[in-house]
Amino acid sequence: MKTPRVTARAHTNIALVKYWGKRDEDLIIPMNGSLSLTLDEFYTETTVQFDSKQQTDHLILDGVTQPTTRVTPFLDIIRNQAGITAGAVVTSTNHVPTAAGLASSASAYAALAAAASKAAGLTLNRQDLSRLARRGSGSATRSVFGGFVEWQAGTNDATSYAVPIDEHPTWPIRMVTVVVDRAEKKIGSRAGMQTVVKTSPFYQEWVKKAQADLAAIKSAIAAHDIQQTGAIAESNAMAMHALNLTATPHFTYFTAGSLTAMHCVEELRAKGIPCYYTMDAGPNVKVLCEEQHVAAILTALQAHFDKNDLLVAHPGPGVQIIREN
């Protein structure tokens, strides 16, 4: 017997206050809370169907069959909740470079959580869907919601989930993504976090800073204060990346292109244009700004980067079921 084929779409999010390190590796409970902006430019569409004739799961990503090493344990959580044993066929298309620091895992697991739970016959509220998505990828817990989203760290599976801060911002906030490199990063987020938590002598100070940054940035967002919001986001990102340089062995996601983009933003800011950079676990730089300054920022960046590698994103929506048959 086959279940309905369900397709969900989820968008990536970029953290303005980062999550970098887990309290619980299995449940993916973070050391600190975080806050992100869901973007309309990058998204994943995933279709799931369970079939009792399927003894194993099958994953097709961007038209290519892939191993199900990470997908099957995640689907097992859903099967256990739904009381089914059928294998699943998962077909997914990423409209975002995979594993390049553009939060492809966030959109991927948020879409998978929504499509698979619906296909399995579960009816989850958004809080429970956020908890489920977290089990696949920590940042996916935030992609369940649109706009500005806080991931409340919690201490266990029941208390760690995301909540919307402002799902439909009237503030004309924009994120310019500088695609420095579309290749898969050499050090994955999970491995990077584990190394930092275990070996950086500054890790506990990072947790304190992240908690303070989270409280401060929520106030700045509520006030639509681009200078304060941007300054906190930029400082938080650099603190996270500094941890990587203090780990053993040390590592970095920065490339020459990353530094060029950051220097360009700093030069723009010196000229009076309020724009601020952030980076997740990858070389690509994201520039936080307001709509009125986008043109000037693009002009400056085009002196160093191809215009096709400069993408302007607006606040995006939360996860949606787009087809069911």
- Angstrom distance (rounded) from CA 279 to CA 237: 6
Residue 99 has pLDDT above 50, yes or no: no
> What are phi and psi for residue 3, nearest 5 degrees?
-85, 170
Residue 156 has pLDDT above 70, yes or no: yes
Residue 182 confidence (pLDDT): 75
Residue 97 has pLDDT above 80, yes or no: no
- Angstrom distance (rounded) from CA 254 to CA 277: 13
- Angstrom distance (rounded) from CA 310 to CA 173: 16
Rounded percentage of the chain residues whose pLDDT exceeds 70:
98
Residue 103 confidence (pLDDT): 59
- Listing DSSP states for 253-320 in one string gives ---HHHHHHHHHHHHHHHTT---EEE--SSS-EEEEEEGGGHHHHHHHHTTTS-GGGEEEE-B----E
Query: Region 100-106: what's the mean pLDDT?
Result: 69
247 Cβ contact list (under 8 Å, min separation 6): 195, 196, 199, 200
Residue 185 has pLDDT above 90, yes or no: no
Q: For residue range 18-33, list pLDDT tens digits in order.
A: 999 999 999 999 999 9
Query: Region 200-211: what's the mean pLDDT?
Result: 97
Query: Region 122-140: what's the mean pLDDT?
Result: 97
Which residue reads 């990587």 in tokens? 244
Residue 19 tokens read as 């999550």
Q: What is the pTM of this model?
A: 0.95
